[in-house]
Structure formats: C-alpha cells, structure tokens
Chains A and B, each alone.
Chain A
Amino acid sequence: MSGRPLPRIILLAALMAALAIVRLVVGYSIGWPADRLVLELRLVSVFGAISVGVCLSVSGVMLQSLLRNALASPYILGLAAGAALGVGLVQLGVVPRSVASWIGEPVGAVAGSSLALLLVYRLSLRRGLIDPMSMLLVGVMISVVASALLMLVQFMMGRDADQLLRWMMGRIAPEAPPALVIAGCVTALAGLAISLRWSRALDAAALSDDEAASVGVNLASLRIGMFLTAGVLTAVSVLLAGPIGFVGLIAPHLARMIVGSRHAALLVGAALIGAALLLAADTAVQLIPHIPSIPQPRGLLPIGILTSAIGGPVFIYLLRHRQSGWIE
C-alpha cells in the first residue's frame, strides 16, 4: 500500500468504528443498553452489517476486476437469485420438513448460490480459461432464469409467499444466531485476506491479458480463485442478510475514487466503505420509528429497500463524472 492512501484508509476505519458505536446506541430505545441481551442483539447487528458490507464490497472489487466491467457487482452473476431460489424451495417444502427443520434456509441459500456459481463457471469456460465476457452474459442469464423460477415458487406458495418476499427485501437480523454472525465475520476477513494476497496480480490483471501474462500472472488460476472467493463471499452475505443491492456495486467505485485504483488499498477501502454503508443503513432503519413526524412503516423498514433507493441516485451522481476518467 502506498503512503498516500493510508491516511484515507485510517479515516475510513475511524468512520466505520464511529458508525458501529452509533448503532450500538440506537435501537428500540436510544442509549447504551443496560440489558445484556439487548447489547448482544445490537452487537449481532453491528457484526452482521460489517460482515455483509465487507463480503459484498470485496466481492464487488474482485468481480469488477475479473470482468473488467465497472457495472459488475456480486449479484450480476446470478448468485443472489440462486440463493433466493434455494430459500424459496426450502420454504415451498421441496425439501422434506423433517430435513428442512435442521438444514433450514441457510443451507438452501448456500446450495442455491453454489449451484449458480458452478453453472456460471462451467458455461463461461473457453478453451479451459474463464472468458470474462461469457461469464458476464451467462451470469445475467442465470440470474434471469433463477428469478423466473423464483417467481414460479412464489406463485406456487400462494399466500404463504410473504415470508420469502420479506426475506428478499434484505435485513440485518439481530436475532440471527451469534455463531452464524461470527462465522460470517471470519469468512469476510478470510475473503479480504485472500484477495489482498492477490492484490498485485489483480493490478496486473486489470491491464490486458497479454500484459498481465508478460509480468508472470497466471490468469487462469487467478480468475478461478477470484471467482470462487467472490461467490463464497456473496453467498455468505445473502445468508446473513438476504439480497441487499447496490453496496457491492457502489462501495468499490467510492473506494476507487477515495483511495485509488491500486488493489491493496482499494480492497481495504471498499471493505471499510461497504461496512460503513451497511452500518449507516441499519442505524437509519432503527432511527425511523423514533421520528413520529414522518410516515411510519409497519415495523422496521427492510434494509435492502433503503440501500437500493439511496444507492441508485448516488450511482447516477457518480456516472455523471465519467468524463473525468473514472469510467471510460
């Protein structure tokens, strides 16, 4: 990491830490929780948001580099749609209830996203190499097919589809088992560490294939590694919070503009920004019920609605700057 981005990364880390503390203070009531269980619930939310933010943004950076496409995001490869389909099939009862009761929806999510991952990988191979363009197109198609199957599942579920619809709106669940969130944190950190090991190769891979090969980068193994890591990180984020849009798309771009394009700094910066965005969104969701003067949603607003509603306009704002060299 060069000297220049370091102060910015430290600032981003401080911002993320500050947001984590704010989230610990904001919940059903505002103030530091006196009840240990309430503190535990808020801690689960904080670590859940950080894990999901890191997973989405790191996989976003890897996929944008892998596909050399500024619009690539973890969801573009159909992994989220695959995960949602897996959860839908569990809820529909395709998996016998006796089995579903212990494997449950988490396994449905992981199985669905893994299957989508496998399909995208197999179908995008050209002469033994992952072809970025094929991967992008196959990913979009897998996403479309999985979404159609998901609609079929919803239709077959009839009035019982509510639970699936709610899950698809995305939510950082304080009631998630702490062990699951700890596992999510470990996976997110492992994903970040693995991607940092590849940061120099990623810098080279951002150039043309020939140039990357000329500096000794094994593109075939790098692409497989990045693809699998991005897939696992996306599956974990879906497992923890359902499909949450835009964070995986926006965090890498914001990081690129704040800390530069070198992947070592970019990955860390994106991870911090993704975590900060999720923490801010989760805090906002908790704050809304405390403002009686605004129209109140019934219950807590699903976080996915907030990230997409705000992420879209921010992305358009960023696009407006494309002539400046950010996106060609």
Chain B
Amino acid sequence: MHAIQPVSGNHRLAAVLAFTMCLAALIVPACKRAAPAAPAKPSPGMRIVCLSPAVTDLLISLDLGDRIVGRDTWEEQLPDSIPRVGDLTSINLEAVVALAPTDIVLQAGKIGAPPRLEEVARQRGWNLINLQIDGLPDVQRAIGTLVEQLSFAEEAQSREVAAQRAQEFVNEIGQALAPLPAAVTDRLGSIMVLYFTDPPSAYGPGSYVSDILESLGGRNVLTGGAWQELDLERVAASKPWALIIAEPDAGEELKAHPEGALGSLARLNLDCVRAGRLAVLSHPRSQLPGASVIGVAQELRTILEELARKQGPPEP
C-alpha cells in the first residue's frame, strides 16, 4: 500500500517533465507532418454518404458506386480516395458536413438513426434513408427502397436508369437463388456452414447464408439463432452430413484441400470429413448481406452440386 506524501519542491521539475511528455507524446508527432486536408469540393448531382458496407455493395451493384462520396469505417470495395466517415457507433459528423451530401444511407434498422445525425440531416436538408438488412428477403426489399427513396437530385433520368438496373438485379438474384433440381437436393443431407472454426461458429436459420442455402434446396443442420457459437461436442452431436467452411478469399490450394480449414474441428474426425463431404466457401463478402447474394448463391450451388455428385444418397 502506498501512502501519499508531501512533495519536495525539487521534484516538481520531474512532474513538469512528465506532464510535458504526456502532451508531447499526444500532439507533437502529429503536428510535425500534419498537412491540412481540404474539404471535398461539392460536385453537382446526387452525393451519397453510405454508412453501411452492405448497402455500399448494393449501391455499387445498382451502378451508383460513383455517387458515393463518403463511406463506412469498415467498407473495403471503394477506392482509397473515398473518405471513411465513421459508422453508426461513432459518426464523424464534421466529415459528413464537409462532404456536402444530398443523401445519407445507413443500416440502423429498428434502432433508428443516431438522433444528432437526424437533427443535422433535417437542418441541412439531407435525405436520410434507413434500411434494415438482416436476411435474404431484406436484400430485395432494400433494392426497391433505395431506388424509390434516393433523391437523384434533379436527375429523373438517372432514377429511371437505376430502376431499370434494379429490376435486372432482382431478376439476377432470382435466377441465382433458383432451387437446385430434386435429383440434386434429394441426395443432400443436413449441412453445417461455419464462419469460424476456432471456436466453431455456424450460420443458423434466419442468417443470410442459411437463407441462401435453403433457397437452393439445402437444409441447415442447426436450429435456433442466426449466428451460433458452438463447441466441439455440439458439432459432433449434430452429425452434419456435410461441412462448408466460409473462408473469404481462400485460394485454390485451400479449396482443393479443404481439410486445411478445419482447425480444431480436425480432432473430431467427423464422418462427413472422412467421406470427403467438406468444402470451402471462398466468396470474399459471404458475411455481407447485400449484392454478394448472387456470388454466394452461385458458389454454394456449385458446392452443393459437387457434394451431391461425389456422394451417394444421404443417410436415413
């Protein structure tokens, strides 16, 4: 236990030094090379700040990616020149103001937009669009909402083009989600799709990937919540007929030898692994409910067809 003692005058110098060190460590390195950042010069037309990577994905698919002037902290697809303006938990309002948007799109669902953002949007006349995208049906709904609600500031023709593109996109999604033939689905058993292996975590019913799997005619081995953290015992007890492991950006090597993605699950020596009913889902945005639906569905379709082709009828 340390008691507080009166301080001798000599050591005030040490305190001043320490305090200066604190301030210097915080500010000086930053000041040395600080370059003023010029606010973006507003260009005419619709300027979107998108606070959701999933919605950004949708906007790009609707050919509206070039209208995005500010993006979410976690967005990966847009060029580096598009500034990150925070996310729902910490919006950099000053950055948003500097970008002079016409539209703010976010994915806050029922929670609603942050109150201060709503207030500033009202003051500045920004068009605030709040979407909810959890499962597969929400994606198609969001496409319609975007085309309807984006301002397309004085660009009626652009809205028509976007509406047309949206219709094409919805048709493409419909095609990608068309169920596999019964000859394929009849040979499939219950499937577990994992998004982590250590600890094992899997998509349950109601999750985006599970929705796609079921649309294609596959069956999820799990019941319960949308994202489930499991343990090895539960994975073994659920006896999946096949395992699919989501490994974004997995290379050809891992896809050819998916055992490498098993992690701690390798210890279970599961029947499905021994029988070769194991695959890797390599789509880079398989965890992002949005435009990736087409790519994820196409890859899952190929995986399911391959599993059905390689294996005989499912166990009773």
Contact = CB atoms under 8 A, between A and B. Distances in A.
Contacts of A198: none
A68 B30 contact: no
Contacts of B15: 253-254, 256-258, 318
A221 B116 CA distance: 41
Given A327-B2, A328-B5, A300 B92 contact: yes
Contact of B94 (A42, A261, A326): A42
Interface residues of B, number: 59
Nearest to B85: A299
Given A280-B23, A289-B37, A293-B33, A175 B91 contact: yes
Interface in B1-49: 1-8, 10-12, 14-16, 18-19, 21-23, 25-27, 30-31, 33-39
B92 A28 contact: yes
Nearest to A311: B22
Interface string A59-77: 0000011001111000000
A41 interface: yes
B110 to A, nearest CB: 7
Interface string A250-263: 10011011101100
Interface string A287-298: 111111100001
Contacts of B30: 283-284, 287-288, 290-291
Nearest to A258: B15
B254 interface: no
**Which residue of A22, A177, A299 has the most chain B CB atoms within 10 A of its CB atom?**
A299
B6 A298 contact: no
A158 interface: yes
A327 B222 CA distance: 59
Given A175-B116, A284-B30, A299-B84, A28 B39 contact: yes
B205 to A, nearest CB: 15
Contact of B4 (A37, A41, A65): A65
A298 B84 contact: yes
Nearest to A246: B22
Interface residues of A, number: 73
B117 interface: yes
Given A41-B93, A177-B116, A298-B74, A277 B23 contact: yes
A1 to B, nearest CB: 16
A321 B14 contact: yes
A273 B21 CA distance: 13
B64 interface: no
B227 interface: yes
Contact of A260 (B7, B35, B92): B7
Contact of B93 (A175, A260, A293, A302): A175
Given A257-B11, A291-B33, A300 B86 contact: yes
A177 B115 CA distance: 9
Contact of B22 (A277, A283, A289): A277
A97 interface: yes
Query: 7 closest A-B pairs (Cβ-Cβ)?
Result: A257-B15, A287-B30, A175-B116, A299-B73, A30-B36, A280-B26, A70-B2
Interface of B: 1-8, 10-12, 14-16, 18-19, 21-23, 25-27, 30-31, 33-39, 73-74, 84-95, 97-98, 110, 112, 114-117, 120, 123-124, 225, 227, 229
